Chain A
Amino acid sequence: MKIERQVDQIINENVTAIAAGDESVESILARYPKIEAELRPRLEAAILLQQARYSVATRPGFIHDSRKYLETKIVSMPPRYSWQRIIMRYTPQRWVFNLIAPVIVLLMLALVVNSTLLTARLSIPGDPLFSTKLLIEDIQLAFTLNQVDKTNLQMQQTQERTLEFVELVMEGDYDYLPAAAGRMEAEIIASLHALNTVSMNSPGVELTMVAKLSDTLTNEIQMLNMLKATSPNSAHAGINLAIQVARSGVLALH
Protein backbone atom coordinates (compact mmCIF):
# COMPACT_ATOMS: atom_id res chain seq x y z
CA MET A 1 0.00 0.00 0.00
CA LYS A 2 1.32 3.41 -0.87
CA ILE A 3 2.33 5.58 2.06
CA GLU A 4 -0.14 8.34 1.04
CA ARG A 5 -3.00 5.89 1.06
CA GLN A 6 -1.98 4.32 4.34
CA VAL A 7 -1.59 7.69 6.07
CA ASP A 8 -4.94 8.84 4.66
CA GLN A 9 -6.61 5.69 5.95
CA ILE A 10 -5.09 6.06 9.44
CA ILE A 11 -6.13 9.70 9.59
CA ASN A 12 -9.69 8.90 8.46
CA GLU A 13 -10.06 6.14 11.02
CA ASN A 14 -8.63 7.99 14.00
CA VAL A 15 -8.90 11.73 13.65
CA THR A 16 -12.43 11.92 15.05
CA ALA A 17 -11.52 9.72 18.03
CA ILE A 18 -8.47 11.89 18.79
CA ALA A 19 -10.49 15.10 18.50
CA ALA A 20 -13.09 13.60 20.88
CA GLY A 21 -10.38 12.63 23.38
CA ASP A 22 -10.94 8.87 23.01
CA GLU A 23 -7.47 8.38 21.53
CA SER A 24 -4.21 10.33 21.62
CA VAL A 25 -1.70 11.09 18.90
CA GLU A 26 0.93 9.08 20.76
CA SER A 27 -1.29 5.99 21.09
CA ILE A 28 -1.96 6.02 17.34
CA LEU A 29 1.71 6.56 16.50
CA ALA A 30 2.66 3.69 18.77
CA ARG A 31 0.62 1.40 16.52
CA TYR A 32 2.53 2.48 13.41
CA PRO A 33 6.16 2.93 14.49
CA LYS A 34 7.56 2.38 11.00
CA ILE A 35 5.79 5.38 9.52
CA GLU A 36 5.83 7.61 12.59
CA ALA A 37 7.96 10.29 10.92
CA GLU A 38 5.49 10.53 8.02
CA LEU A 39 2.37 10.14 10.10
CA ARG A 40 2.97 12.50 13.03
CA PRO A 41 2.98 15.89 11.24
CA ARG A 42 0.05 14.95 9.06
CA LEU A 43 -1.99 13.57 11.91
CA GLU A 44 -1.40 16.74 13.94
CA ALA A 45 -2.37 18.91 10.98
CA ALA A 46 -5.50 16.83 10.39
CA ILE A 47 -6.49 17.18 14.05
CA LEU A 48 -6.15 20.95 13.81
CA LEU A 49 -8.43 20.97 10.79
CA GLN A 50 -10.90 18.66 12.50
CA GLN A 51 -11.07 20.96 15.50
CA ALA A 52 -11.25 24.07 13.33
CA ARG A 53 -14.25 22.58 11.56
CA TYR A 54 -16.45 23.79 14.40
CA SER A 55 -15.24 27.37 13.94
CA VAL A 56 -16.58 27.38 10.39
CA ALA A 57 -19.90 25.73 11.20
CA THR A 58 -23.14 27.49 10.36
CA ARG A 59 -24.78 29.55 13.08
CA PRO A 60 -27.79 27.87 14.73
CA GLY A 61 -30.95 28.28 12.69
CA PHE A 62 -29.20 29.54 9.57
CA ILE A 63 -29.91 26.50 7.41
CA HIS A 64 -33.57 26.38 8.42
CA ASP A 65 -34.15 30.10 7.90
CA SER A 66 -32.21 30.35 4.69
CA ARG A 67 -34.01 27.31 3.28
CA LYS A 68 -37.32 29.15 3.55
CA TYR A 69 -35.80 32.20 1.87
CA LEU A 70 -34.31 30.05 -0.90
CA GLU A 71 -37.57 28.24 -1.57
CA THR A 72 -39.42 31.57 -1.78
CA LYS A 73 -36.83 32.95 -4.14
CA ILE A 74 -36.68 30.00 -6.54
CA VAL A 75 -40.45 30.15 -7.10
CA SER A 76 -39.81 33.19 -9.30
CA MET A 77 -36.69 31.70 -10.87
CA PRO A 78 -37.43 28.71 -13.10
CA PRO A 79 -34.49 26.45 -14.01
CA ARG A 80 -32.86 27.56 -17.22
CA TYR A 81 -31.91 25.27 -20.04
CA SER A 82 -28.56 25.64 -21.78
CA TRP A 83 -29.94 27.64 -24.72
CA GLN A 84 -31.74 30.01 -22.33
CA ARG A 85 -28.52 30.58 -20.39
CA ILE A 86 -26.61 31.33 -23.60
CA ILE A 87 -29.24 33.83 -24.72
CA MET A 88 -29.40 35.47 -21.30
CA ARG A 89 -25.64 35.67 -21.01
CA TYR A 90 -25.48 38.16 -23.87
CA THR A 91 -27.09 41.58 -24.06
CA PRO A 92 -28.26 42.82 -27.50
CA GLN A 93 -25.14 45.03 -27.64
CA ARG A 94 -22.99 41.98 -26.93
CA TRP A 95 -24.70 40.01 -29.69
CA VAL A 96 -24.11 42.88 -32.15
CA PHE A 97 -20.49 43.12 -31.04
CA ASN A 98 -20.02 39.35 -31.39
CA LEU A 99 -21.40 39.46 -34.91
CA ILE A 100 -19.61 42.60 -36.07
CA ALA A 101 -16.20 41.99 -34.50
CA PRO A 102 -15.29 38.94 -36.65
CA VAL A 103 -16.51 40.74 -39.79
CA ILE A 104 -14.29 43.75 -38.99
CA VAL A 105 -11.35 41.49 -38.23
CA LEU A 106 -11.86 39.62 -41.52
CA LEU A 107 -12.13 42.86 -43.48
CA MET A 108 -8.94 44.18 -41.90
CA LEU A 109 -7.20 40.92 -42.60
CA ALA A 110 -8.34 41.04 -46.23
CA LEU A 111 -7.10 44.64 -46.47
CA VAL A 112 -3.68 43.71 -45.11
CA VAL A 113 -3.39 40.66 -47.40
CA ASN A 114 -4.53 42.70 -50.40
CA SER A 115 -2.02 45.49 -49.69
CA THR A 116 0.76 42.93 -49.28
CA LEU A 117 -0.13 41.27 -52.58
CA LEU A 118 -0.28 44.61 -54.38
CA THR A 119 3.07 45.71 -52.95
CA ALA A 120 4.53 42.32 -53.90
CA ARG A 121 3.25 42.66 -57.48
CA LEU A 122 5.00 46.03 -57.86
CA SER A 123 8.28 44.82 -56.38
CA ILE A 124 11.54 44.40 -58.35
CA PRO A 125 14.63 42.28 -57.54
CA GLY A 126 16.17 43.42 -54.25
CA ASP A 127 12.81 44.37 -52.69
CA PRO A 128 11.77 42.42 -49.57
CA LEU A 129 8.56 41.18 -51.20
CA PHE A 130 10.10 40.11 -54.50
CA SER A 131 10.26 36.46 -53.43
CA THR A 132 6.54 36.71 -52.55
CA LYS A 133 5.89 37.99 -56.07
CA LEU A 134 7.68 34.98 -57.59
CA LEU A 135 5.76 32.66 -55.27
CA ILE A 136 2.42 34.18 -56.29
CA GLU A 137 3.37 33.74 -59.96
CA ASP A 138 4.28 30.09 -59.37
CA ILE A 139 0.95 29.51 -57.60
CA GLN A 140 -0.95 31.19 -60.45
CA LEU A 141 0.82 28.95 -62.96
CA ALA A 142 0.17 25.83 -60.89
CA PHE A 143 -3.56 26.58 -60.73
CA THR A 144 -3.90 27.41 -64.45
CA LEU A 145 -4.79 24.13 -66.13
CA ASN A 146 -5.71 25.27 -69.64
CA GLN A 147 -2.57 25.15 -71.81
CA VAL A 148 -3.38 28.31 -73.80
CA ASP A 149 -4.06 30.30 -70.62
CA LYS A 150 -0.93 28.86 -69.07
CA THR A 151 1.14 29.98 -72.08
CA ASN A 152 -0.38 33.47 -71.93
CA LEU A 153 0.47 33.66 -68.24
CA GLN A 154 3.99 32.44 -68.89
CA MET A 155 4.43 35.16 -71.50
CA GLN A 156 3.09 37.78 -69.12
CA GLN A 157 5.69 36.68 -66.59
CA THR A 158 8.42 36.91 -69.24
CA GLN A 159 7.28 40.46 -70.00
CA GLU A 160 7.31 41.20 -66.27
CA ARG A 161 10.95 40.04 -66.04
CA THR A 162 11.94 42.30 -68.98
CA LEU A 163 10.20 45.29 -67.38
CA GLU A 164 11.89 44.53 -64.05
CA PHE A 165 15.26 44.50 -65.79
CA VAL A 166 14.64 47.89 -67.37
CA GLU A 167 13.48 49.28 -64.04
CA LEU A 168 16.63 48.00 -62.34
CA VAL A 169 18.82 49.74 -64.92
CA MET A 170 16.83 52.98 -64.62
CA GLU A 171 17.04 52.93 -60.82
CA GLY A 172 20.76 52.16 -60.89
CA ASP A 173 20.54 48.82 -59.05
CA TYR A 174 23.29 47.30 -61.17
CA ASP A 175 24.24 44.60 -58.63
CA TYR A 176 21.02 42.73 -59.36
CA LEU A 177 21.38 42.80 -63.19
CA PRO A 178 23.15 39.43 -63.70
CA ALA A 179 20.61 37.58 -61.52
CA ALA A 180 17.72 39.41 -63.22
CA ALA A 181 19.12 38.48 -66.67
CA GLY A 182 19.30 34.85 -65.52
CA ARG A 183 15.64 34.94 -64.39
CA MET A 184 14.67 36.56 -67.70
CA GLU A 185 16.43 33.76 -69.60
CA ALA A 186 14.63 31.11 -67.56
CA GLU A 187 11.25 32.76 -68.27
CA ILE A 188 11.96 33.07 -72.01
CA ILE A 189 12.91 29.38 -72.17
CA ALA A 190 9.75 28.45 -70.25
CA SER A 191 7.65 30.59 -72.65
CA LEU A 192 9.27 28.93 -75.67
CA HIS A 193 8.47 25.48 -74.22
CA ALA A 194 4.89 26.55 -73.55
CA LEU A 195 4.50 27.92 -77.09
CA ASN A 196 5.90 24.67 -78.49
CA THR A 197 3.32 22.67 -76.54
CA VAL A 198 0.47 24.94 -77.73
CA SER A 199 1.60 24.69 -81.37
CA MET A 200 1.52 20.89 -81.13
CA ASN A 201 -1.86 20.69 -79.40
CA SER A 202 -3.72 23.48 -81.22
CA PRO A 203 -1.81 24.60 -84.29
CA GLY A 204 -2.45 28.21 -85.35
CA VAL A 205 -3.25 29.53 -81.90
CA GLU A 206 0.40 30.15 -81.09
CA LEU A 207 1.01 32.59 -84.00
CA THR A 208 -0.39 35.65 -82.20
CA MET A 209 1.45 34.69 -79.06
CA VAL A 210 4.75 34.30 -80.91
CA ALA A 211 4.32 37.74 -82.48
CA LYS A 212 3.54 39.25 -79.10
CA LEU A 213 6.56 37.69 -77.40
CA SER A 214 8.77 38.67 -80.34
CA ASP A 215 7.58 42.30 -80.00
CA THR A 216 8.25 42.24 -76.27
CA LEU A 217 11.79 40.96 -76.74
CA THR A 218 12.57 43.29 -79.64
CA ASN A 219 11.37 46.29 -77.64
CA GLU A 220 13.48 45.08 -74.71
CA ILE A 221 16.58 44.94 -76.91
CA GLN A 222 15.96 48.48 -78.22
CA MET A 223 15.27 49.84 -74.76
CA LEU A 224 18.37 48.19 -73.27
CA ASN A 225 20.56 49.50 -76.07
CA MET A 226 19.34 53.03 -75.37
CA LEU A 227 19.86 52.62 -71.61
CA LYS A 228 23.31 51.16 -72.15
CA ALA A 229 24.40 54.40 -73.78
CA THR A 230 23.51 56.39 -70.67
CA SER A 231 24.66 53.81 -68.07
CA PRO A 232 28.07 53.56 -66.41
CA ASN A 233 30.54 50.90 -67.49
CA SER A 234 29.80 48.81 -64.42
CA ALA A 235 26.29 48.12 -65.78
CA HIS A 236 27.34 47.16 -69.26
CA ALA A 237 28.12 43.50 -68.52
CA GLY A 238 24.68 42.89 -67.05
CA ILE A 239 22.90 44.81 -69.84
CA ASN A 240 24.88 42.99 -72.54
CA LEU A 241 23.90 39.68 -70.97
CA ALA A 242 20.22 40.65 -71.03
CA ILE A 243 20.45 41.85 -74.65
CA GLN A 244 22.07 38.55 -75.61
CA VAL A 245 19.35 36.59 -73.80
CA ALA A 246 16.62 38.60 -75.56
CA ARG A 247 18.26 38.16 -78.95
CA SER A 248 18.52 34.43 -78.42
CA GLY A 249 14.84 34.42 -77.58
CA VAL A 250 13.94 36.32 -80.78
CA LEU A 251 16.10 33.94 -82.86
CA ALA A 252 14.43 30.94 -81.24
CA LEU A 253 11.01 32.38 -82.02
CA HIS A 254 11.95 32.90 -85.66
Chain B
Amino acid sequence: MPGRQDKDYELIKKAQHGDHSAFGDLYENHAPSIFRYLYAHLDNQMDAEDLTGEVFLKAWQSLPKYTERGVPFLAFLFRIARNTLVDHYRQNNRQESKDPEEMDGYRAEGNPEPVDVIGSQIEHQKLLRLLQKLRPDYQTVLTLRFISELSPEETSQVMKRSVGAIRVLQHRALADLRKEMDKVS
Protein backbone atom coordinates (compact mmCIF):
# COMPACT_ATOMS: atom_id res chain seq x y z
CA MET B 1 0.00 0.00 0.00
CA PRO B 2 2.08 2.91 -1.24
CA GLY B 3 -0.36 5.58 0.04
CA ARG B 4 -0.15 4.28 3.56
CA GLN B 5 3.63 4.04 3.27
CA ASP B 6 3.95 7.65 2.09
CA LYS B 7 1.80 8.84 4.96
CA ASP B 8 3.84 6.75 7.37
CA TYR B 9 7.05 8.14 5.94
CA GLU B 10 6.03 11.75 6.64
CA LEU B 11 4.94 10.90 10.18
CA ILE B 12 8.15 8.95 10.82
CA LYS B 13 10.24 11.89 9.65
CA LYS B 14 8.42 14.16 12.10
CA ALA B 15 8.66 11.57 14.89
CA GLN B 16 12.36 11.22 14.32
CA HIS B 17 12.68 14.95 14.90
CA GLY B 18 10.98 14.46 18.27
CA ASP B 19 7.35 15.06 17.30
CA HIS B 20 5.49 12.93 19.83
CA SER B 21 2.15 13.70 18.27
CA ALA B 22 3.30 12.34 14.89
CA PHE B 23 4.30 9.14 16.61
CA GLY B 24 0.89 9.15 18.29
CA ASP B 25 -0.67 9.29 14.82
CA LEU B 26 1.43 6.32 13.75
CA TYR B 27 0.23 4.54 16.87
CA GLU B 28 -3.38 5.28 16.13
CA ASN B 29 -2.98 4.03 12.54
CA HIS B 30 -1.23 0.78 13.32
CA ALA B 31 -2.02 -0.16 16.93
CA PRO B 32 -5.29 -1.96 16.06
CA SER B 33 -3.49 -4.32 13.66
CA ILE B 34 -0.71 -4.96 16.12
CA PHE B 35 -3.18 -5.51 18.95
CA ARG B 36 -5.20 -8.00 16.89
CA TYR B 37 -2.04 -9.87 15.96
CA LEU B 38 -0.94 -10.07 19.59
CA TYR B 39 -4.36 -10.91 20.99
CA ALA B 40 -4.76 -13.72 18.44
CA HIS B 41 -1.74 -15.32 20.11
CA LEU B 42 -2.58 -14.53 23.73
CA ASP B 43 -5.39 -15.57 26.02
CA ASN B 44 -5.53 -12.33 27.94
CA GLN B 45 -6.71 -9.00 26.60
CA MET B 46 -4.70 -7.03 29.14
CA ASP B 47 -1.50 -8.78 28.12
CA ALA B 48 -2.25 -7.92 24.50
CA GLU B 49 -2.83 -4.27 25.45
CA ASP B 50 0.37 -4.11 27.49
CA LEU B 51 2.39 -5.73 24.74
CA THR B 52 0.94 -3.36 22.13
CA GLY B 53 2.24 -0.45 24.19
CA GLU B 54 5.56 -2.20 24.61
CA VAL B 55 5.87 -2.75 20.84
CA PHE B 56 5.39 0.96 20.18
CA LEU B 57 7.79 2.00 22.93
CA LYS B 58 10.43 -0.25 21.38
CA ALA B 59 9.57 1.14 17.94
CA TRP B 60 10.01 4.68 19.28
CA GLN B 61 13.40 3.86 20.70
CA SER B 62 14.40 2.12 17.48
CA LEU B 63 13.27 4.90 15.14
CA PRO B 64 16.84 5.89 14.13
CA LYS B 65 17.54 2.26 13.30
CA TYR B 66 14.35 2.04 11.24
CA THR B 67 15.50 4.33 8.43
CA GLU B 68 18.75 2.40 8.14
CA ARG B 69 16.82 -0.76 7.34
CA GLY B 70 14.46 0.67 4.73
CA VAL B 71 11.60 -1.73 5.54
CA PRO B 72 7.96 -0.48 5.48
CA PHE B 73 7.03 0.77 8.93
CA LEU B 74 4.23 -1.76 9.35
CA ALA B 75 6.62 -4.65 8.65
CA PHE B 76 9.08 -3.06 11.09
CA LEU B 77 6.35 -2.92 13.75
CA PHE B 78 5.27 -6.50 13.19
CA ARG B 79 8.82 -7.74 13.48
CA ILE B 80 9.07 -5.99 16.85
CA ALA B 81 5.69 -7.47 17.76
CA ARG B 82 6.85 -10.99 16.92
CA ASN B 83 9.98 -10.59 19.03
CA THR B 84 7.98 -9.09 21.87
CA LEU B 85 5.58 -12.01 21.73
CA VAL B 86 8.46 -14.49 21.84
CA ASP B 87 9.94 -12.66 24.86
CA HIS B 88 6.53 -12.73 26.53
CA TYR B 89 6.24 -16.49 26.00
CA ARG B 90 9.72 -17.01 27.38
CA GLN B 91 9.00 -14.93 30.47
CA ASN B 92 5.70 -16.62 31.15
CA ASN B 93 6.86 -20.06 29.99
CA ARG B 94 3.43 -21.02 28.82
CA GLN B 95 1.41 -20.96 25.65
CA GLU B 96 -1.71 -22.86 26.57
CA SER B 97 -4.99 -21.00 26.64
CA LYS B 98 -7.35 -20.66 29.53
CA ASP B 99 -11.04 -21.37 29.68
CA PRO B 100 -13.19 -18.25 29.40
CA GLU B 101 -14.24 -18.76 33.04
CA GLU B 102 -10.62 -18.61 34.15
CA MET B 103 -9.96 -15.30 32.46
CA ASP B 104 -9.75 -12.22 34.59
CA GLY B 105 -12.79 -10.02 34.87
CA TYR B 106 -11.01 -7.03 33.44
CA ARG B 107 -13.48 -4.45 32.28
CA ALA B 108 -12.34 -0.93 31.65
CA GLU B 109 -14.48 2.11 31.18
CA GLY B 110 -16.20 2.16 27.82
CA ASN B 111 -16.27 -1.63 27.48
CA PRO B 112 -19.25 -3.30 25.84
CA GLU B 113 -21.93 -5.12 27.79
CA PRO B 114 -20.86 -8.21 29.77
CA VAL B 115 -22.87 -10.51 27.50
CA ASP B 116 -21.01 -9.19 24.46
CA VAL B 117 -17.69 -9.45 26.28
CA ILE B 118 -18.29 -13.11 27.18
CA GLY B 119 -19.48 -13.90 23.66
CA SER B 120 -16.39 -12.26 22.25
CA GLN B 121 -14.16 -14.08 24.74
CA ILE B 122 -15.63 -17.45 23.80
CA GLU B 123 -15.10 -16.64 20.14
CA HIS B 124 -11.55 -15.55 20.92
CA GLN B 125 -10.82 -18.75 22.84
CA LYS B 126 -12.16 -20.80 19.94
CA LEU B 127 -9.85 -18.97 17.55
CA LEU B 128 -6.92 -19.33 19.91
CA ARG B 129 -7.44 -23.08 20.34
CA LEU B 130 -7.70 -23.60 16.59
CA LEU B 131 -4.62 -21.52 15.81
CA GLN B 132 -2.56 -23.17 18.52
CA LYS B 133 -3.06 -26.53 16.83
CA LEU B 134 -1.30 -25.23 13.71
CA ARG B 135 2.41 -24.95 13.03
CA PRO B 136 3.91 -21.62 14.25
CA ASP B 137 4.51 -20.32 10.71
CA TYR B 138 0.94 -21.22 9.75
CA GLN B 139 -0.32 -19.34 12.79
CA THR B 140 1.75 -16.31 11.84
CA VAL B 141 0.72 -16.19 8.20
CA LEU B 142 -3.00 -16.58 8.98
CA THR B 143 -2.89 -14.02 11.76
CA LEU B 144 -1.05 -11.48 9.65
CA ARG B 145 -3.20 -11.98 6.57
CA PHE B 146 -6.69 -12.37 8.03
CA ILE B 147 -6.60 -10.96 11.55
CA SER B 148 -4.23 -8.03 11.02
CA GLU B 149 -5.27 -7.67 7.37
CA LEU B 150 -1.81 -7.33 5.92
CA SER B 151 -1.34 -7.73 2.18
CA PRO B 152 0.74 -10.66 0.87
CA GLU B 153 3.56 -8.17 0.19
CA GLU B 154 3.49 -6.79 3.73
CA THR B 155 3.28 -10.30 5.17
CA SER B 156 6.28 -11.32 3.08
CA GLN B 157 8.26 -8.41 4.53
CA VAL B 158 7.34 -9.33 8.11
CA MET B 159 8.09 -13.03 7.65
CA LYS B 160 11.13 -12.39 5.43
CA ARG B 161 9.90 -14.69 2.68
CA SER B 162 8.91 -14.13 -0.94
CA VAL B 163 5.31 -13.25 -1.82
CA GLY B 164 4.98 -16.58 -3.64
CA ALA B 165 6.17 -18.46 -0.57
CA ILE B 166 3.64 -16.56 1.56
CA ARG B 167 0.80 -17.58 -0.78
CA VAL B 168 1.86 -21.23 -0.66
CA LEU B 169 2.18 -21.07 3.12
CA GLN B 170 -1.25 -19.45 3.44
CA HIS B 171 -2.76 -22.04 1.06
CA ARG B 172 -1.50 -24.89 3.23
CA ALA B 173 -2.30 -23.12 6.49
CA LEU B 174 -5.94 -22.56 5.48
CA ALA B 175 -6.30 -26.23 4.53
CA ASP B 176 -4.87 -27.27 7.90
CA LEU B 177 -7.12 -24.85 9.74
CA ARG B 178 -10.16 -26.29 7.96
CA LYS B 179 -9.14 -29.80 9.07
CA GLU B 180 -8.80 -28.57 12.66
CA MET B 181 -12.26 -26.97 12.40
CA ASP B 182 -13.66 -30.37 11.41
CA LYS B 183 -11.97 -32.03 14.37
CA VAL B 184 -13.37 -29.46 16.79
CA SER B 185 -16.88 -29.66 15.41
* Residues of A in contact with B (beta carbons under 8 Å apart): 2-5, 7-8, 11, 15, 41-42, 44-46, 48-64, 66-67, 69-71, 73-75, 77-82, 85
Contacts and interface: CB of A to CB of B under 8 A. Distances in A.
Counting from the closest, the 10 A-B pairs by CB-CB distance are A55-B123, A41-B178, A49-B146, A61-B110, A42-B174, A52-B127, A55-B124, A45-B177, A4-B171, A56-B39
A4 B168 contact: yes
Contacts of B49: 58, 62, 66
B80 to A, nearest CB: 13
A60 to B, nearest CB: 5
Nearest to B175: A41
Interface of B: 16, 18, 20-21, 23-24, 27-28, 31-32, 35-36, 39-40, 45, 48-49, 52-53, 56-57, 60-65, 68, 108-112, 120-121, 123-124, 126-127, 130, 142, 146-147, 149, 152, 164, 167-168, 170-171, 174-175, 177-179, 181
B62 to A, nearest CB: 7
A71 B21 contact: yes
Contacts of B57: 70, 73-74, 77
A80 to B, nearest CB: 5
A60 B130 CA distance: 26
A235 to B, nearest CB: 69
Contact of A63 (B32, B126, B149): B32
Contacts of B167: 2, 4-5, 8
A44 B178 contact: yes
Given A56-B48, A57-B32, A82-B68, 12 more contacts: A46-B174, A48-B181, A49-B146, A52-B147, A53-B149, A55-B124, A66-B52, A70-B24, A71-B20, A77-B57, A79-B60, A85-B62
A2 B112 CA distance: 44
A51 B130 CA distance: 14
Q: Is the interface of A mostly helix, strand, loop or mixed?
A: helix
Contacts of A53: 36, 146-147, 149
A41 B174 contact: yes
B152 A81 contact: no
Contacts of B68: 82
Contacts of A41: 174-175, 178-179
Given A59-B111, A70-B27, A71-B24, A45 B181 contact: yes
B124 A52 contact: yes
Contacts of B23: 70-71, 74
B147 A49 contact: yes
Nearest to B106: A59
A14 B39 CA distance: 25
Contact of A58 (B16, B31, B178): B31
Contacts of A58: 31-32, 35-36, 49
Nearest to A7: B171
Contact of B142 (A2, A3, A49, A70): A49
